[in-house]
């Protein structure tokens, strides 16, 4: 199945080196409690609405062939179970409060779009970042062809990954990838299962194999007080990287934020990360020093 793209974000400076264009694909094998892009969790198309700003004009309800939309209290309310994702309501909303999360591109079409910003890649040392969701959990024939075509065009490819995929998927994409942005969310398998939906065994095994195969890996740690935001948690990550001799020129500690929480309401679901929080500035700076003192000199907050 051709992967669905939810967003092509241009001029991105936080998804790898230089100025980049980030492509967000739908579908992920994990379900992180705080996921910033919940519209990328499912592999199928989804409808996003913005009911709070709706004026209740009723055009969407009139257009819906399944009568899945009703006007109540001056707002258009959607029965997600009855919706068949035809997209007709998105075409008639005068305020553009309805959108489909997911669009297909052929590899040729997507490469053409991504090459529009080649000048910025060349001047900044940037390129294209393939993200998600989980890009490597999608159709690997498509992803390998996309990465190969970008590579042949001289465009740097970075893969943003949670690591929870068969290692054969990494092997297919490795020849065309300059950098992997690799998430470590928790070293505790039970805590990982609680907050991410699966344990971390496969993720850590793949990281070790990828490092041994010579990949350039940036370790990224979404840092959340309740999940991994203690000195013991960070020391566990450091010990693993040292013990397994993980090759990483950069470590990024990413403080928790909830800027994606509003998307859950638009999807008709509940944000489960309400009780999560970011460590203090002082705690984050202490974590950075821990990594630097362990030999990971290029460790920073954000990125």
> Which of 84, 4, 101 lies closest to 43, judged by CA?
4
pTM of the model: 0.94
- Whose structure tokens read 């009139």? 62
How would you list the strands of the sheet with 250-255, edge to edge?
A: 103-104, 4-12, 20-25, 127-131, 156-161, 179-183, 217-223, 250-255, 299-301
Judged by DSSP in three states, 76 sits in strand
DSSP 116: G
Q: What is the distance of C-alpha 166 from the center of its chain?
A: 18
Question: Is the pLDDT at 80 greater than 90, yes or no?
Answer: no
Which spans in 34-132 are helix H?
A: 59-63, 88-92, 107-114, 118-124
Confidence of residue 233 (pLDDT cuts 50, 70, 90): very high
> Could you give the CA distance from residue 85 to residue 128 in angstroms, rounded to a whole number?
30
Check if the beta carbon of residue 16 is closer than 8 Å to that of residue 3: no
pLDDT of residue 101: 93
Question: Is the pLDDT at 1 greater than 90, yes or no?
Answer: no
Give 137's contacts (C-beta < 8 A, 6+ positions apart).
27, 28, 29, 164, 165, 169
Question: Is the pLDDT at 268 greater than 90, yes or no?
Answer: no
Give 241's contacts (C-beta < 8 A, 6+ positions apart).
219, 248, 294, 296
pLDDT tens column, 99-148: 999 999 999 999 999 999 999 999 999 999 999 999 999 999 999 999 99
Supply the DSSP string of 9-40, one letter for each residue: EEEESSSSSSSEEEEEES--S---TT-S-GGG
- Whose structure tokens read 């230089």? 18
Pairing state between β 156-161 and 179-183: parallel
Percentage of residues in the chain having pLDDT higher than 70: 100
Give 105's contacts (C-beta < 8 A, 6+ positions apart).
2, 5, 113
Percentage of residues in the chain having pLDDT higher than 90: 95
Mean pLDDT for all residues in the chain: 96
Residue 47, both tokens: 């409808």
Q: Classify burial at 154, counting beta carbons within 10 Å of its beta carbon; exposed 0-12, middle 13-18, buried 19 or more.
A: exposed
Question: Is the pLDDT at 303 greater than 90, yes or no?
Answer: no
pLDDT tens column, 190-231: 999 999 999 999 999 999 999 999 999 999 999 999 999 999
pLDDT of residue 245: 97
Torsion of CA 164, 244, 177, 253, to 10 degrees: 70
Residue 280, both tokens: 């203090």
Domains and CATH numbers, the chain: 4-43+102-301 (3.20.20.70), 46-100 (3.30.70.20)
pLDDT tens column, 242-259: 999 998 999 999 999 998
């Amino acid at each position: 199945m051709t992967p669905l793209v939810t967003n092509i974000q241009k001029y991105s400076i936080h998804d790898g080196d230089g100025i980049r264009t980030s492509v967000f694909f739908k579908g992920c094998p994990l379900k992180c409690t705080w996921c910033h892009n919940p519209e990328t969790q499912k592999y199928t198309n989804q409808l996003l609405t913005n009911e709070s700003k709706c004026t209740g004009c009723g055009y969407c309800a009139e257009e819906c062939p399944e009568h899945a939309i009703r006007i109540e209290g001056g707002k258009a309310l959607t029965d997600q179970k009855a919706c068949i994702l035809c997209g007709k309501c998105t075409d008639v909303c005068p305020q553009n409060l309805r959108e489909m999360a997911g669009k297909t591109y052929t590899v040729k079409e997507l490469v053409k779009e991504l090459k529009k910003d080649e000048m910025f890649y060349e001047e900044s040392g940037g390129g294209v970042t393939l993200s998600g969701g989980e890009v490597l959990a999608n159709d690997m024939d498509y992803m390998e062809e996309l990465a190969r075509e970008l590579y042949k065009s001289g465009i740097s490819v970075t893969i943003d990954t949670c690591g929870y995929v068969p290692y054969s998927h990494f092997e297919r994409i490795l020849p065309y990838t300059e950098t992997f942005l690799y998430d470590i969310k928790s070293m505790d398998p039970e805590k990982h299962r609680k907050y991410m939906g699966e344990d971390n065994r496969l993720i850590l095994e793949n990281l070790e194999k990828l490092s041994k195969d010579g990949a350039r890996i940036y370790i990224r740690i979404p840092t959340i007080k309740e999940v991994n935001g203690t000195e013991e948690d960070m020391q566990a990550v450091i010990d693993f990287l040292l013990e397994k001799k993980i090759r990483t020129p950069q470590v990024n500690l990413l403080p928790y934020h909830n800027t994606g929480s509003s998307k859950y309401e638009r999807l008709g679901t509940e944000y489960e990360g309400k009780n999560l929080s970011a460590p203090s500035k002082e705690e984050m700076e202490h974590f950075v020093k821990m990594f630097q003192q362990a030999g990971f000199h290029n460790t920073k907050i954000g990125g």
